[in-house]
Amino acid sequence: MGKGFFISKAVGIVAIILCAGALAVIIALSVVYSQEKAKNQNQVSPTDGGSTSKPPVTPSPSNEPWDKYRLPKSLVPDHYNVTLWPRLTEDVTTGLYIFTGDSSVEFECAEETDLILIHSNKLNYTKLENNHLAMLTSVNSGVKAPSIKYSWLQNVTQYLVLQLDGKLSKDHRYHLVTQFTGELADDLGGFYRSEYMEDGVKKVVATTQMQPTDARKAFPCFDEPAMKAIFYITLIHDHGTVALSNGEVKDSSNFPVEGHNVQKTIFEPTEKMSTYLLAFIVSDFAFINNTVDGVLIRIFARKPAIAAGQGEYALNKTGPILKFFEKYYNTSYPLPKSDQIALPDFNAGAMENWGLITYRETALLYDEEYSSNSNKERIATIIAHELAHMWFGNLVTLRWWNDLWLNEGFASYVEYLGAHEAEPDWNVKDLIVLNDVHRVFAIDALASSHPLSSKEEDIQKPAQISELFDAISYSKGASVLRMLSDFLTEEVFTMGLRTYLGEFAFGNANYIDLLNHLQMAVIANGTQLPDTVQNIMSTWILQMGFPVVTINTTTGVVSQQHFLLDPDSEVTAVSPFNYEWIVPIKWMKTKVIQEPQWLTTKSATNNEMKLSGAVTDWVLANLDVVGYYRVNYDTDNWKRLVANLGTDHQLIPVINRAQLVDDAFNLARAKIISTVLALETTQYLNNEKDYMPWESALSNLDFFYLMFDRSEVYGPMQNYLRKQVTPLFEYYKTMTLNWSKVPDGHMDQYNQVNAISLACRTGLEECQTLVKTWFNQWMNTNENKIHPNLRSTVYCNAIAAGGAKEWEFAWSQFVKATIATEAEKLRSALACTKEPWLLNRYLEYTLEPDIIRKQDATSTIVYIANNVAGQSLAWDFVRARWSYIFTEYGGGSFSFSNLINGVTKRFSTDFELQQLQQFKADNSVVGFGSGTLAVDQSIERTISNMKWITENKQNVLNWFDNAV
């Protein structure tokens, strides 16, 4: 039996009977689909539902339980026995790929009821001998189960509904048995298929993505995270294929059916877990493996990828990261194995299925010849993210999706800690500031943002749940947890974390439970705080946005206000704290780190922050940007800081140099300081060699490109930036011995890319000649000598400078690319052409899954929209095809918000605003799914952009003219 699993004698006997009966059921499953056509006159396809007995007519709107999206609390699952048989060839009758299955779930009745609701979506059921869609029996022979009176599928709320002719008895257990057929569709959700070509032969993989609400597409289940159970999984599959699931293989044997032999693989029972963490996969992949302290680690991928050694990096780093998290959590890894598999088609970056983690190929496979250092970093951080979930999320799981931020925010924070353990020379922990804090500031500064934690009753429908998978949950969650860990100290933070995991192991919790354990650790350690952990963190969790903290170094007054990119925007969301926060402030005065302070009110006076000494003195707050807020100063201190950047910038820590630039530009957009002052923070960059300040500057100047690359400001801006980047270009030219070697440092490798990218973008002739020469050498010799680090920027700039010949060559290389990371670089670069007809062709390709994989469609459209020549083309394309895009790509997609934000971020005219508002109105019936909030954010951002241009265009033009 599985660890921690107890089975009574009565239950054991039932399980034996079920296992014996399963043999007959499995054979029957092979012909279920054709039998259904004969048995049911109202047969529908697997994607539509199934035949039903008619329920009582219910008036609309209904208050019936089956019309509500949340399960009643009357039934609690204990364990499931699920057998699935995916067909990796098309069904001859329907032309569909299908799977057949049978399931039995044992549940306990917690409250008397005559109704069974169990989630089911796009499954087609076989009528059993009782002429219903399911069979109900009692586990205890002394208690008779009621008969099923009505059975039907409630498609809107995704239930199989069973009305009984009597009540289930409280505290008694029952079995519910079903047989079903589903479509193994290519929709990236539930039990789905992924296809790829190998040696000219099409291969099919049956795989899964259950999170958040698609386990119900694979088998009927109580599909809520708190409905944890144990799962006994069996897969039927062809010989020559490999079956994987969460548990280890218990038995695999030959199994005759339909006149030929297949294989039946039975897995060990899982631990008690949530449905969304289930996984089962059938493929002919290969694997490599090792064992670390008794834990079997395997990396699965396409056979050519494994043969080429592309799984080695992931295999080598998984062990150290696992060991790090065991130490961090002070808890052994809860499972005997850790399988990781790279899939050709996968909608998310990766998924933390317990014991069988699924990845995009680009997130797991590394090839030194083709992969850049950013590809390698992505692999290390994503592996760390998913392994962090094995404890935080899987062992202890959120009670409901309104606390998704805690699950994903935590993993998004500690992924940097795990990656640092794997690659200690990278300083990767610093990059959370660029990748998460600064990234999410842009969204959380909108009046249409939302708090980290939602009310449970506000998150009901699957579309509402999917909408939570956004930058707020991931990046703001990571940022505030990093802040919390910092002001508590990591020792206290991990102390509370460990007792939290101990109390709720194999169960469910919410964010309050974690804060309570952190408070216990604070008390045990004697840590001094201005308030309880819950009261401090509630100001960051229960209200949207963040503050700008203003320090007046003349008066010593420190104050806070809700930071909004558009100060004129109307905040309609009511805050329980009146948009005030309890703010931890780490700061320094002229190179000397000071005692940390707290701002607990709207405004306070701190005389230590006054400047009364030399004109070279200055105050700098939010050291290393550990706090989730922006910082503003009086004009005099700003000028001192800018002057210090110009004379000796290294006196200011590197992360804070990036912060000064980012804060200044965003404060200017919010009309708190002048845009000219923000631009002045870039004047020192001709002496800056570090990556983070440059990346911060380029990220903010991207906004200037978006606003001005269609206006007369563009030319002077290009001239200024070309002047600023030329010393950096020359620096890396010298460091790399005329581009012949790779910089040693991880950050230097990144900044070399920035130097080449900006130099070419601003028209530095030497740079443009360089990239065109490299690209032409590849075209002429068919030998690609461009270093993987530089390929993305070289490909893009060469295609932008070229015409159809360069584009067609890159397209041919993309089509035949077998390395996912190389294909990704080419797919992005193909969007860089200036030829509208090529961009339109490329847009058409995005909706042809045989050309551009479904997982890549939305990001490809965004790549095209990023190109000024493709912006209007992409927008017109999305508007014209929205209904089709939403229908075809909606099932497993969390990417609609990225798509909508991506194609509208350049919008800055009244005409574009009207188009956006019309787009919202025209598609109100179709809907926007996970992009619903993004539509409102795009409208708000467009209005803000319009105002900003009106107020700043002339000043910006004058400044660039005078700065050259």
* Rounded distance between C-alpha atoms, residue 25 and residue 188, angstroms: 28
166, burial (CB in 10 Å: exposed 0-12, middle 13-18, buried 19+): exposed
Residue 922, Cβ neighbours under 10 Å: how many? Answer: 12
Pairing of strands 603-605, 557-562: antiparallel
How many CA atoms within 13 Å lie on the side-chain side of 425? Answer: 6
Q: List, edge to edge, every strand of the sheet that includes 587-589.
A: 592-593, 587-589, 619-621
* Tokens matching residue 627: 């706090």
**Measuring CA to CA, how many Å separate 512 from each of 100, 138, 245, 304, 538?**
42, 38, 33, 48, 9
Per residue, the 3-state secondary structure of 187-245, as one string, reads CCCEEEEEEEEECCEEEEEEEEECCCCCHHHCCCECCCCCCCEEEEEEEEECCCCEEEE
Pairing of strands 547-551, 201-209: unpaired
In the residue annotation, 386 being an active-site residue is answered as yes
Pairing of strands 557-562, 547-551: antiparallel
Total number of residues shown for the chain: 964
Of the candidates 282, 259, 264, the one whose C-alpha atom is nearest the C-alpha of residue 23 is 264
609: left (phi over 0), alpha (psi -120 to 50) or beta: alpha
Q: Which residue has the tokens 């497993």?
A: 892
Number of H helices, E strands in the chain: 30, 31
For 381-428, give the DSSP string.
HHHHHHHHHTTBTTTEEESSGGGHHHHHHHHHHHHHHHHHHH-TTS-G
* Rounded distance between C-alpha atoms, residue 268 and residue 343, angstroms: 24
Pairing of strands 630-633, 547-551: parallel
* Rounded distance between C-alpha atoms, residue 812 and residue 835, angstroms: 17
For 429-446, give the DSSP string.
GGGHIIIIIHHHHHHHTS
DSSP designation for 221: B
**Measuring CA to CA, how many Å separate 758 from each of 454, 723, 826?**
41, 11, 19
In the three-class reduction of DSSP (H, G, I as helix; E, B as strand; rest coil), residue 712 is classed as coil
Partner residues linked to 163 by β-bridges: 115, 150
* Tokens matching residue 612: 């009364």
From the list 36, 352, 361, 386, the catalytic residue is 386
* Rounded distance between C-alpha atoms, residue 44 and residue 34, angstroms: 12
* Tokens matching residue 151: 């059975």
E-assigned strand segments in 581-726? 583-585, 587-589, 592-593, 597-599, 603-605, 619-621, 630-633
* Rounded distance between C-alpha atoms, residue 881 and residue 329, angstroms: 48
Partner residues linked to 549 by β-bridges: 560, 631
* Rounded distance between C-alpha atoms, residue 291 and residue 298, angstroms: 9
Q: Are the C-beta atoms of residues 858 and 898 closer than 8 Å to each other?
A: yes
How many CA atoms within 13 Å lie on the side-chain side of 226? Answer: 14
* Rounded distance between C-alpha atoms, residue 594 and residue 917, angstroms: 50
Q: Are the C-beta atoms of residues 700 and 689 closer than 8 Å to each other?
A: no
Of the candidates 763, 754, 749, the one whose C-alpha atom is nearest the C-alpha of residue 716 is 763
**Measuring CA to CA, how many Å separate 928 from each of 466, 805, 879, 890, 915?**
11, 38, 12, 9, 16
Residue 804 identity (one-letter amino acid):
A
Catalytic residues: 386
